[in-house]
């Protein structure tokens, strides 16, 4: 049985601790690590990035969506998600950070 990822994070400087679970926690961790460069479903594969971001925004995390064009055999565009506030991970699910 796989253990679910559960993290506790807060928006700095004075945000309240928020518990985030599962893929939403995974997405938040990736956004924090990526910094200003943000994340795309191309460089951080995940099945439902747009939904994770939707749910994280409901928690209050300010995430910007940038539309980026791409070429290749299937040209079009993709989203880049950028966390627009400093976030502190208080507990990464493995104990205190």
Whether pTM > 0.85 for this model: the answer is yes
Residues in the chain, pLDDT under 70: 1-2, 95-97
In this structure, is residue 97 part of a structural domain? no
In this structure, is residue 54 part of a structural domain? yes
How many Cβ atoms from other residues are within 10 Å of residue 20's Cβ? 23
Domain that holds residue 51: 6-91
Q: How many domains does the chain have?
A: 1
Q: Quick one: pLDDT at residue 1? A: 58
In this structure, is residue 47 part of a structural domain? yes
In this structure, is residue 96 part of a structural domain? no
In this structure, is residue 32 part of a structural domain? yes
In this structure, is residue 1 part of a structural domain? no
Q: Quick one: pLDDT at residue 94? A: 78
Q: Quick one: pLDDT at residue 20? A: 97
């Amino acid at each position: 049985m796989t253990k679910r990822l559960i993290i506790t994070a807060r928006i700095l400087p004075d945000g309240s601790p928020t518990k985030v679970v599962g893929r939403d926690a995974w997405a938040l961790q990736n956004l924090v690590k990526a910094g200003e460069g943000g994340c795309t479903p191309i460089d951080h594969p995940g099945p439902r990035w747009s939904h994770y971001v939707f749910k994280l925004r409901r928690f209050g995390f300010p995430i910007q969506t940038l539309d980026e064009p791409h070429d290749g055999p299937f040209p079009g565009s993709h989203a880049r998600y950028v966390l627009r506030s400093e976030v502190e991970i208080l507990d990464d699910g493995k104990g205190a950070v």
